[in-house]
Amino acid sequence: ARKIIIDTDPGQDDALAILLALGSPELDVLGITTVAGNVPLALTEKNARKICELAGKPKTRVFAGANRPLVRDLVTAEHVHGRTGLDGPDLPAPQMPLQEKHAVDFIVESLMDHEEGDITLCPLGPLTNIALALNREPRIASRIREIVLMGGGFFEGGNVTPTAEFNIYVDPHAADVVLRSGVPIVMMPLDVTHKALTTRARIDAIRGLGTRVGEACAELLEFFERFDEEKYGTDGGPLHDPCVITYLLEPELFKGRLCNVTVETGSELTMGMTVVDWWQVTDRPKNALVMRDLDAHGFFTLLTERLARL
């Protein structure tokens, strides 16, 4: 099985991504590292444990990492995810322990202890922990198989400012470290995640599994989608973070292009904007495979099938 570390700030869509990974035998989740993002760290680490217990996988190791971005003040998104970050279902307080080790130490040690090219990092939130790990131990860069991340937006624009996507906006300095690291990167920007919409029929199919996980997921998604539906009149909400895990399982569901991506860290107006050289008008190095298209039907078929195994 492919070894992965999920770095996350749950978040309903993060929760679905974690469940998808835990329900997939092709993936070996070495650990889940948590970061401040959608809500503060004390909630994201607790939410990650709730999700592992919901999945029936309380042995999964969960670590707490950075409680604030590298340079900027923390910005959160309770208006999307609710006060707890995981509003919707009534999930019990977690019984499984939080690991004592700091998330950044776990990331560094795992990469140094495993064979080169063994571990894939899957960031689903602000990139603070990943940047801290790369800064602390630069030798990990050549040992990471690949970083598959949710973040950014280009033709689609931003979802927190006109030009910035939330994960990159919250810690643009960390994103800058990651994008310059030389590690192979696959990026799932809003351009692709906005195609993964939780329509009524798709949520009904998940609820129709008739399991506790199916019911909890339907409740998570119904809470999550109301933000986009009320504000933009869409049918469903965009299931951003599961795109990362889906790519590991069925990469052919996505289409994109290898190009240069740079992040704005100076301008207040465009802070956190991902500048994607889609048309190759510069000779800057191609540092990321940027996805733009998704087979949404294939995506939800896979997701539902994997949730059924939990």
Catalytic residue among 102, 173, 194, 240: 240
Point out which span in 6-14, 65-73, 86-94, 255-263 binds ligand BDR (CB under 6 A): 6-14
Least distance from C-beta 208 to Ca ion, angstroms? 26
Which of 105, 225, 241, 277 is the binder for ligand BDR (CB under 6 A)?
241
Point out which span in 8-16, 53-61, 259-267, 274-282 binds ligand BDR (CB under 6 A): 8-16
Q: Under the criterion CB under 6 A, does residue 166 sit at the interface with ligand BDR? A: yes
Residue 202 partner contact from Ca ion, ligand BDR, none using kind-dependent CB cut-offs of 5 to 8 Å: none
> What SS3 state is found at 91?
coil
What mask of x and - would describe binding to ligand BDR in positions 131 to 160, judged by CB under 6 A?
A: -------------------x--------x-
Asked if residue 151 has a cis previous peptide bond (ω within 30° of 0), the answer is no
Q: Is 240 a catalytic residue?
A: yes
- Please give the Cα distance from 13 to 79 (Å, whole number): 14
3-state SS of 9-68 is: CCCHHHHHHHHHHHCCCCEEEEEEEECCCCCCHHHHHHHHHHHHHHCCCCCCCEEECCCC
Which of 4, 7, 11, 145 is the binder for Ca ion (CB under 5 A)?
11
Least distance from C-beta 226 to ligand BDR, angstroms? 14
Instruction: Provide the CA 219 distance to its chain's centre, in angstroms.
Output: 20
Pick the closer one to ligand BDR by CB: 166 or 254: 166
Instruction: Tell me the HSE value of 220 on the side-chain side, using a 13 A CA sphere.
Output: 26
Strand partners, 259: 288
Under DSSP, the state recorded for 164 is B
Residue 19 partner contact from ligand BDR, Ca ion, none using kind-dependent CB cut-offs of 5 to 8 Å: none
Element (H, E) at 210: none
Q: Under the criterion CB under 5 A, does residue 14 sit at the interface with Ca ion? A: yes
Amino acid at 292: R
* Residues 168-207, interacting with ligand BDR (CB under 6 A): none
Residue 77 partner contact from ligand BDR, Ca ion, none using kind-dependent CB cut-offs of 5 to 8 Å: ligand BDR
Q: Under the criterion CB under 5 A, does residue 125 sit at the interface with Ca ion? A: yes
Q: Under the criterion CB under 6 A, does residue 167 sit at the interface with ligand BDR? A: yes
Least distance from C-beta 197 to ligand BDR, angstroms? 14
DSSP 3-state percent helix, strand, coil across the chain (nearest 5)? 40, 20, 40
- Please give the Cα distance from 135 to 112 (Å, whole number): 14
Which of 24, 34, 38, 287 is the binder for ligand BDR (CB under 6 A)?
38
Pick the closer one to ligand BDR by CB: 164 or 206: 164
Q: Which residue in 287, 261, 228, 300 sits closest to 80, CA to CA?
A: 228
| Residue 275: burial class (beta carbons within 10 Å; 0-12, 13-18, 19+) | middle
Catalytic residues: 240
* Chain residues in the site for ligand BDR (CB under 6 A): 11, 13-14, 38, 77, 80, 124-125, 150, 159, 165-167, 240-241
